Amino acid sequence: MFYVYIIQSINFSKQFYTGFSEDIDGRLDEHNKGKSVHTNKFKPWKMIYYCAFDDKKNALNFEKYLKTASGIAFRNKRLI
């Protein structure tokens, strides 16, 4: 399975990060251990949304959409 996920900083509640992974639990652990330069300064993180896909291309396209302005609006209105 391929996952698109949204995490939220526990200490900075207005900070969100959208990502893609084949190992969702392991990826959250990496974010919380500071292994990502994009999320390191806002750790710790909690998972607030994820979606599983059978097709990698569809998952990557959805992740890409969620990072656009309209995708962020969709996230804020429908997913979180």
- For residue 28, give the nearest of 11, 8, 13 by alpha carbon: 8
CATH of the domain at 43: 3.40.1440.10
- pLDDT category of residue 53 using cuts at 50, 70 and 90: very high
Number of domains making up the chain: 1
pTM for the whole structure = 0.95
What is the pLDDT at residue 76? Answer: 96
By residue range, what is the domain housing residue 45? Answer: 2-79
Return the pLDDT at 29.
97
Q: What is the DSSP letter of 76?
A: I
